[in-house]
Structure formats: structure tokens, C-alpha cells
Chains A and B, each alone.
Chain A
Amino acid sequence: MLQNTGIPTKEDIAGVTPSLERRSKGPVAVIECYQKIPCNPCYTSCKFGAIKEFKDINDRPEVDFDKCTGCGQCVVNCPGLSIFIIDESYSDKEALVKIPYEFLPLPGEGSFVTALNREGEPVCRAKVVKIQNAKYQDRTPVVSLTVPKEYSMEVRFFNIEDYFSDNTYVCRCEELTMGELRDLIRMGYRSVDEIKRISRAGMGPCQGRTCRQLIMQELAKATNQDMKDMPMTTFRPPVKTIKLGALLGGDKDE
């Protein structure tokens, strides 16, 4: 729960999410401010009257999504950095998520970063398409990321390290990189087993404990599949690597 962990619940988020229809029309502000605190700069900074008048300074912001243009003025004025701009009209498959980011170094425009969710867990690879850092923003730069549309209400931060870069190892035992995995998927390999047979991923000392899940995730993402519908690998003994000597040293009748 938000008050114990800092992570808002699904219900919390549902309460501030614009409709799918509105999101697909163009940029819109999502204000993730769930507590009554004495604070009103979002309301006073909005030039379009899109944030309902605060009768009391402790009121929670309420956005009129039809009036909101997604200009982002409130994003840099929010002392809690709790406002994000979502634009699902960005392209067929991708949405734009604008995130206030008060850290150095800033990522480069065009670079790839690791998009994180509200718990700080990696969600996907994201491209930095724009960085706004004008004087009026008073040292709160806004980073625009493109992410797959289904993650627009999930991605809320990023790590400048590109965990999902082509150079990252997926299978550390057999040294399969993300780039090689992506190439294999592009070549038409469609299951973990196929990828295992062609690349040896999962056949090293850990026997797939690390990479099995990662390969499935990448496959699911690249081929638009749900992980629950995807075939698992075949499991055969031994579950861990053992020395041939151990096998030879068995009972005589075995």
C-alpha cells in the first residue's frame, strides 16, 4: 500500500488515469498525487484552466483531460515530481512518456535507457527522444522516452544504464548477448528450446536458471506473445551439472 511502501495501488492509479480514448488523442498530464497536502503549484501554473480550482490548498489536483493540452508546465512546477505527460498518439506502437529528471548526467537524445516502473524495476528498453531543460524549468529537466504503448501507464522513471542493450549478457554461462538473441528471433527462432539448441543458452553450469526467464521475456516482447501461452523448455536430468566421474562411480548395476 502506498502509505507503507510508497508504491501506489492499481486502484490509486486507475483513479488518475485518463481514458484510453483521451490518451490516444494526444499528450495529456497524469497527476499521481494521492494525498491531501498543502500544495497548489500545479493548479496555479496551468495556463489552460485544466486543473480544477483548489477550494482549499490541501485539495488533490483534478485534471479536466479535455482542457489539458499536455504542455508540461505543471510537470516542472510540481515540488513532488508527481506529474507525467503521456502521449499515446506518438506512433502506431509507441507512446511518449515525459518524466521530470533531476539527475546528472542527462542521457543523450537518441540514446537508449532502461525504463523503470513505480517500484524501480526494469520494464523495457526506452529511447530518449527529447530533453527539455529551459530556464523556466529551473533545473528540473524533462526527459521524453518512447516506450511500447502498453507500458505508458507503467514507466515512471529510468536508469541511464541500458540494461537491455545489445551488449548485455542474457546467458552468462554460454555468453549469449541480447543482441545475438534478438538476431536469432529476427531469423525466426520462436521458442526457448529452439534458441537453446542453436545457441547453447541454458546449457551451461546454471542450466538455464538465469536466462530461461529472460529469453522468454524478450521473445514475448518481440513476437507479441503472452508468456503464459508460450511453451516451456524441456526439463531432463540432471538439474545441475555433475562430473562424469560421479556418474561412473555409481553402483555396478546402474
Chain B
Amino acid sequence: MKMTEIAIVGGGPAGLSAAVSAAASGARVTLIERDDHLGGQLKKQTHMFFGSKKQYASTRGVDIADILQEQLAKYKDRVEIMTDATVIGIYEDGILTIEQNNKYIKMQPQRIVVATGASEKFLTFPNNDMPGIYGAGAVQTLMNVYGVKPGNNVLMVGAGNIGLIVSYQLMQAGVTVKAIIDAAPRIGGYLVHASKIRRMGIPILTSHTVKYAHGKDSLEKVTICKLDEKFQPIPGTEQDIEADVMCISVGLSPLAELLWQIGCKMTFVPELGGHVPLRNGEMETSLKGIYIAGDVAGIEEASSAMVEGRLAGLCAAKGLGYEAENYEDLRKDCLEQLNSLRSGPVGEKILKGLSKVTA
């Protein structure tokens, strides 16, 4: 049995930040990441981040992953990093089971920070299992992490930030984006992203959805149609778009299986992307010693995920008796940053969602 003080599940923006603040407080940390590298989604984010300096605004996501790892390297005497390691279960006695390189490992941590992130939502339409139909995040990974071009002509479904950003990056990679469609009557992502793509001549069609995917062995054509105010298809508005790739970018849901397993109190909050755990002001769930941070706690931007990670790491360490020197200041700073990131019109939805899960 492996022992550690704080196990952090997930090495993305939230998990890395939690590891930094827990280790900086003095705790022994094991960071467990299923991929062969740390950074999570940051690794494929070649665009500049929004937010303020404290969340590395204007820095590209991929570089933020490096910055966080450099910060973590300062505490390498008390940080263990496990990559290619997937946490496959959490049990009632607090034991984690991990699969790493085909080995089954048991671990007993004193505190756990779950920062597993999110998975992509999908759509139901005829032939949605056809090759050429991807999640937008998957295409972003293919392109930006592995350098693989997904195809030549893309239809992007979803005009949220991910749909808009991935469309832009597809164009950067020399792929043609035929159109971005969204069932909602308004563009969900930041309008500066939308304008940036629109001025490249890519149409953004709101109130449109996918009706049918066509193709022999793989995607060749997509029939889209217009929707009325009640999201019902308007007959006669069908049009065909020739595309060999369709990216589905219709939102994310928290990846909360581990939290369900161990019995955290969960509730369904559409504003946060699905089922999320109840938590207190320290990011601790209904179960003592189990903390959360990032998209698993509710879908938001990576900037908030990093701050939540800082907060969860700080509080988990304090729970073990490792109180950072300026703990109160650091904690307050995290809360202030979160408040400020969520204070505007785009944060309203998040705040509404959080009001349903915060004790």
C-alpha cells in the first residue's frame, strides 16, 4: 500500500494548482495523471488566456502548463508525480486504486483533491456514429498535441468558447471551417472570439441544428436546418454542407464518477453542466477530507479552475495541520479572484449554479 498525505487526482490546471499550493503549505503530495504528461487541457490551448495577471491572462494555455510545472518543481522533495496513472476507484475507507502501466496500485491518502475535469457532451442525430464526427476537444487534442490534421472541411456544431476557439485553431492549421452552427439564438462564447472568426469569412449560424449526417464510409455531407424560438425545426429550411469532419461542441459535463463512488452528496445543476458535488467555502465536499477543484466542481473557464485548485490545495493542507504562513491572506485572495472572475454578466449563470451547491 502506497501512503501519501494528499492525493490529487488529475494534473490539469486545477490539479496542478492544488498540488502547488498544498506542497507550498508543507504537505506531502502525490499528483496522479492519466495522461503521459501533466497540464491537462492546457497542453492544447495555443490561444491567449482571458482574465487578469493572476490567472496568467495574455499567456497561452500551453505555456501556463509549463509555468505551473515549474512552480511545482520547487517542491520536488515532497511531491510525487505519477503519469500514465488512472485512478479507477475510491472506496469508503478512503483507499484509492490506480492503474499504472498495467499495474494495480493501492494508495492510502489522508486527504484527496478530485480535479478530474470534464467530458464532452454529445448530440443525437441519424448517423452520429459515422467516422469523421468528433468532439471539438478531441480535434483540438489531435491537432495541437499530436499534430494530426483531422480533415479538410469542417462543420462546427456549437458556438460556445470551445467551438469558436477550435474553429480558429482549425483555420490556423490550414483546415477550412465551412460554418459554425448553434441551436441557441445567440452566440454562447465570447463575442471577440466570434468576431475574430467571422472576419475570416466563416458564417456563424445561430438557431440552426444538425438534422442528418450523410456518407458512405465516412462523413461526406451534413444536412442542417433552422430552428424556431421553441427549438423546433422549421420545415423547408434544410441545407446541405459538404464536410468530411463534424465537430460537436455542445458543452461539457463534470467527470464526477469517483465522487459518486465514494458517496459525496451530488445534485443536478444545469448551470454547472450536470451533476456536481455539494461543497463548502473551502472546496470540501460533503465527505470530510474529499476536496474538489476545476470543472468537476462545475464547468467554468480554466482561469477559475486554477484558482479553485489553489484554494482546495491550501485548505486540504490546512486540514492536515500544514497551515501556510499567510494562509488567511492566500485564502482571501483566492476567493476575491473567483468573485471577480464570476462578477460580470457571463458569471451570472455560474453564480446561480453555485448558489445551489454551496453550503
Contact = CB atoms under 8 A, between A and B. Distances in A.
Nearest to A4: B206
Contacts of A118: 195, 198-199
A34 B194 CA distance: 11
Contacts of B236: none
A106 interface: no
Interface residues of B, number: 42
B340 A37 contact: no
> Which of B53, B185, B192, B193 has the most C-beta atoms of chain A within 10 angstroms of its own C-beta?
B192
A139 B63 CA distance: 12
Range, interface on chain A: 35 or more
Contacts of A2: 191, 194-195
A8 B195 contact: yes
B201 interface: yes
Nearest to A139: B60
B115 interface: no
Contact of B195 (A56, A82, A121, A140): A82
Interface string B201-218: 111101100000000000
A41 B201 contact: no
A13 to B, nearest CB: 11
Given A33-B192, A39-B57, A57-B52, A5 B204 contact: yes
Interface string B59-74: 1100000000000000
B147 interface: no
A229 to B, nearest CB: 30
B346 A7 contact: no
Contacts of B185: 4
Given A79-B50, A140-B48, A36 B198 contact: no
Interface in B286-345: 303, 340-345
Given A35-B190, A119-B201, A138-B60, A79 B49 contact: yes
Contact of B204 (A6, A35, A81): A6
Contact of B206 (A5, A103, A116): A5
Given A36-B346, A39-B57, A58-B344, A6 B48 contact: no
B187 to A, nearest CB: 6
A124 B146 CA distance: 38
B340 A57 contact: yes
Nearest to B59: A138
Contacts of A121: 201
A63 to B, nearest CB: 16
B187 A3 contact: yes
Contacts of A32: 192, 195
B196 interface: yes
B46 to A, nearest CB: 9
A99 to B, nearest CB: 9
A119 B57 contact: no
A199 B204 CA distance: 40
Contacts of A138: 48, 58-60
Given A38-B346, A41-B57, A117 B199 contact: yes
Contacts of A80: 50, 190, 192-193, 195-196
B51 A38 contact: yes
Nearest to A155: B199
Interface string A24-50: 000000001111111111001100000
A77 interface: yes
B197 interface: yes
Interface of B: 47-53, 57-60, 171-172, 185-187, 190-204, 206-207, 303, 340-347
The 3 A-B residue pairs whose C-beta atoms are closest, nearest first, are A120-B201, A80-B192, A58-B344
19 contacts: A2-B195, A3-B186, A3-B191, A6-B194, A32-B195, A35-B346, A36-B344, A37-B50, A37-B346, A38-B340, A38-B342, A38-B343, A38-B347, A44-B53, A56-B343, A57-B52, A80-B193, A119-B199, A119-B201
Interface of A: 2-8, 32-41, 44-45, 56-58, 77-82, 102-104, 116-121, 138-140, 156-157
Given A33-B192, A138-B58, 4 more contacts: A38-B347, A39-B50, A79-B58, A118-B199
